[in-house]
Amino acid sequence: MANERVLVAFRLLASSPLAIGPNGSPVDSAGLPVIRGGTIKGAVRRLTSQLATALGDAPCTGDGSPTCRICRLFGAPGLEAALRWSDALAVRDVVRVDGPSRPANILTGLRSRQPVDRARRTNEGQARIQHIVTTPGLVFEARVEGWIPSNQESEPRQTIGLLVGALRSLRHLGGGQSIGCGAVEVDVTAIRIGDAQYSGDEMVSTLSAVGAVS
Ligand SMILES: [Zn+2]
């Protein structure tokens, strides 16, 4: 069985602030926030799994069955993932590092929320949860790459079509949705399968041909 090398590169626009937790966020060498690859992978796995089920795959139970392409792509206990996800790094020419949103100010937003004691229906005595949030409008770049088995000629394209369809439907990432955080949009910028390059529209049309997406 041959394997095809695949790469999907994308930009992720965080149109609202991203909540990066009370304990600080990973930052890169310039002090800009980083979205961990595992965070993106988890969100995209759920969407890819929904799309694959719509396409007629048996629902993924996460058991690492070799017949489950979600487990093959994203991994499962005892099964190594076919694809590796890079961290998403903030794009420097979009963030004005020397301007008003220089790194020192990017992470200083704080939003807080008072949790309600569900039993007593009151928030007395509950500590406020504080989220450190990023400036809205940050753009990040990331990539996912690996090897996909190709026992049929159409298989890598259909599998990457699922992944691209899921990436393009990603609308939320990370915590803090209740405080207006985490709205994202994804623009797929490059797709390579073996030596061939594809557009996002070409990939997603592989799916609409079989009725998975409209
Ligand atoms: Zn599975």
At 30-54, the pLDDT tens digits run 777 788 899 899 999 999 999 999 8
Q: Where are the beta strands (DSSP E) in 36-170?
A: 83-85, 88-90, 109-113, 129-133, 138-149
- Flag whether 214 is in a domain: no
pTM: 0.80
Q: What is the CA(73)–ligand 1 centre distance, in A?
A: 9
Q: Which long-range contacts (CB under 8 A, 24 or more apart) does 113-118 make?
A: 113/178, 113/179
| 8 A C-beta contact, residue 182 and residue 16 | yes
Range of the domain at 149: 3-208
DSSP bridge partners of 110: 132
Please name the residues in contact with 200: beta carbons below 8 A apart, sequence gap of 6 or more: 164, 168, 188, 191
Please tell me the total count of domains within the chain: 1
Q: Average pLDDT, stretch 2-9?
A: 92
Q: What is the CA(51)–ligand 1 centre distance, in A?
A: 13
- Flag whether 41 is in a domain: yes
Q: How do residues 108-162 score in pLDDT, each as one tens digit?
A: 455 555 555 566 666 666 666 666 677 778 899 999 999 987 766 667 888 899 9
Asked whether the CA dihedral 149, 153, 158, 163 is positive or negative, the reply is positive
CA distance 160 to 170: 15
Q: What is the CA(214)–ligand 1 centre distance, in A?
A: 24
